[in-house]
Structure 1
Amino acid sequence: MNDDELMAGVRHAFDVLDPVPESVLAAARAAIAWRTPSAVLAEPAQDRPARTAAGVRGGTGRVLTFTCPGSTVEIEVSENGREREINGRLVPSSSGLVQVRHRDLPPDGITTRAESAGLFCVPGVPEGLVSLVFRLDDGTTIVTSWIRL
């Protein structure tokens, strides 16, 4: 028996005795599909509760700032039951497609456009882990790290 035959026997034993669950394989395939090779990663720089003006009713929320070389993404997340609304802006101002990725959304997620001032709003985002992808009109792609909303 050579090394290849031995490894094939070990692999077969694991496939029979302790197979990888289909949900784990599906999650792995989805993670690879969500990969954006040419994108710049914007990492969290600040996470704080949103401030509510005195005398104004409103739900709880968060303000998050993501930074990457040359750009900043600022978002405010407000809660409405199990859904979230994301209002944000790109600094410096830039227009482009904004995509929200989430496990429970279709592969293209929820999309909207950032206007020329860099402002955008994404309603109806499910609670849970999300990542934002910005495909700017100048050809730049920015991806935020995954955060729990």
Structure 2
Amino acid sequence: MNDDELMSGVRDAFEILDPVPADVLAAARASIAWRTPSAALAELTRDRTGRAAAGVRGAAGRTLTFACPGSTVEIEVAEHGRHREITGRLVPSSAADVQVRHRDLPPGGITARAEPAGLFCVPGVPQGLVSLVFRLEDGSSIVTSWIRL
């Protein structure tokens, strides 16, 4: 028996005794569809939860900053029950298509438009893990790291 035959037997045993759950396979396949290979990855650099001012109704928002070489994405997240509203801006200012990626959303996610000043608002985002994709007018893209909202 050679190495390939041995590995084939081990693989078969795991498929029978401990198969990969269907939802894990679906998430893995969906992650391939979410790839944006040429995009700049903006990593989370700051995560602050604000406090509501005395006498002000509602919860305070959460402020997050993502940075990559040459660009910064600043967002504020407001809770509305099970959904979130994301408002933010791109620095330097630029118009862009904004897409919110979430495992419970269809492949196109929720989309919005950042105006030329770089400001955008995306309402109705489900709670959970999300990532934002910005497709700028010059053809470049920025993708934020995944965060839990």
Tell me the TM-score normalized by structure 1: 0.94
Residue 99 of structure 1 deviates from its aligned partner by 0.2
**Is 1:66–1:72's contact at 8 Å kept on the other side of the alignment?**
yes
In 2: Cα distance, 1:49 partner to 1:3 partner = 53
Cross-structure match for 1:12: 12
Aligned to 1:89: 89
Q: Which one-letter code corresponds to 1:148 in the other structure?
A: R
Q: What TM-score, normalized by structure 2, do the two folds share?
A: 0.94
Q: How many residues align?
A: 149
Shift of 1:30: 1.2
Q: Percent identity?
A: 79
The equivalences for 1:1-149 within 5 A come to: 1-50=1-50, 52=52, 55-149=55-149
Tell me the distance in 1 between the aligned counterparts of 2:49 and 2:4: 56
Residue by residue over 1:69-103, the C-alpha shift from the partner in whole angstroms, topping out at 9 and shown as x without a partner, is 00010001000111100000000000010000001
Superposition CA RMSD, Å: 1.4
Of stretches 41-50 and 123-132 in structure 1, the one that deviates more from structure 2 is 41-50
Gaps of 5+ in 1: none
Post-superposition offset of 1:33: 1.4
Unmatched 5+ stretches in structure 2: none
Which residue identity lines up with residue 8 of structure 2 in the other structure? A
Confirm or deny: 8 A CA contact 1:59 1:80 kept in the other structure: no
Q: Secondary structure at the match of 1:5?
A: helix
The one-letter amino acid paired with 2:141 is T
Whole-Å Cα distance in 2 between the matches of residues 122 and 88 of structure 1? 9
Q: 1:120, CA displacement in angstroms?
A: 0.2
**SS at 1:76 equivalent:** strand
Deviations 1:7-56 (A, max 9, x none): 22221111111111111111111112111100000011111123545644
